[in-house]
Structure 1
Amino acid sequence: MQTDDFILVNGHKHIFYNQEEVSEKEMLQRSEDYFNRCNKRRSVRDFSDKEIPIEVIENIVKSASTAPSGANKQPWTFCVVKSSEIKKKIRLAAEEEERKSYAERMSEEWLDDLKHIGTDANKPFLETAPYLIIVFKRPYEIDVEGKKHPNYYVNESVGLACGFLISAIHNAGLVTLTHTPSPMRFLEQILERPSNERAFLLLPVGYKAAKTYVPAIERKPLDEVMELY
């Protein structure tokens, strides 16, 4: 069966896709504008506690959920934490793991590579930021009968969604930081997540503090990150 609106492929409905086409001039301008906006993004560790409308966070999460995923399984859950009590629990647990990492788990080379960033085991932003978004990956789904069904390319899919998430946060005029305390199983326990979810990434989200400083670093130039064949 085929119409102007859809066709059937292997018995499944495929709808007509129409994307706006623009001139090369506008395409170049859009791509340059987007780069310039992205290039202003920085990882921020100093947050304001100023409130953010939950609708903004919802739109950010919806944007992240538009990311491509293996077989369209969308193997992710975005847990949004506003509760001060839960944020405090997360901070205490994260700092405990971070102290172990800085004291025992990280190599001297790793610690040396972090010196110019100025990080340590203290993570006050986990309580200061008005929201935390914890991204969980779902390696499999569990149906009502308890049977497991696999998801595909889970790490790749969730990684893509996190990229969309960070871009959406920046686009909204907010700041964030990719925080990955290792191991992160405490997040599953504190938030009482189901057995098929694993913590993937934690992002505090908010406005930057009034006086915010970031490391004076530079991004690699194009000729170091792109090869044209």
Structure 2
Amino acid sequence: MIPKIVLTRKYNTLTISNGNDKLSINFDGKGLNITQHNLNARYILYIPYSGVYVKNCDFTPLKHNSTSYVQVITVHSNYSLTYDIQLSSGKISLVKHLTSEEMLRGFVSNGNAVQEFHQVIRAIIHNYLNMSTPIYTAYLKLSIDDEFMRIFEELKCKVLKNIIIFYSAGFSVFIKRVGIKRFNLSISSTSAYIDKFRSIVTELLRSALIIHDVRFGRINNDVKILLDLYLPCTIK
């Protein structure tokens, strides 16, 4: 998978070596400033299924024919943006959009920037929760230590076949073990319990050894019928 660059307020400068050209991309907390000046590099390199690492050297972008490409993720106070940057024939093109949860697929809790990367996780969750909807859902495929279930100890619990269900009024978590330290989770919450949803999803993703998949606004097909048992009929 393609390496990505993460810029935060602390690790805020990427330097790119692109042939004879040297570019500096600085994140000022609001947006990107791109110049020809060679600033001191200080950024986070995110390599899916490898880890996240603090770097202070020039980054060489992927190149196809005469076009170079780099993807930069910026972390703001309560949201995250992704910049798709192309460099070609001395020209720079940039497309900006909200960072989606797809960016988290392949995250491995490895490297010297794991704690910094948790800012990205929080910001992406904020991106989703800033949407106005009567119900919030998340479908997660994680490698995670079994002890993670302690975060549900205040919820009621039932076991149906091979699915563990933790629930309370307007909130539910369906868990299916699919291997050693491998779990699929479907989490649903009404808007009244958005803070609980935010807290639990954040802790799950931060505790994951590997994030194999994460999808907001969706749940596993296996639990759609069971879900009606644990959410108020007013939102069906």
**Alignment TM-score, normalising by the size of structure 1:** 0.26
Structure with greater strand share of residues: 2
Relative contact order (alpha carbons < 8 A, sep ≥ 6): 1 or 2 greater? Answer: 1
Structure with greater helix share of residues: 1
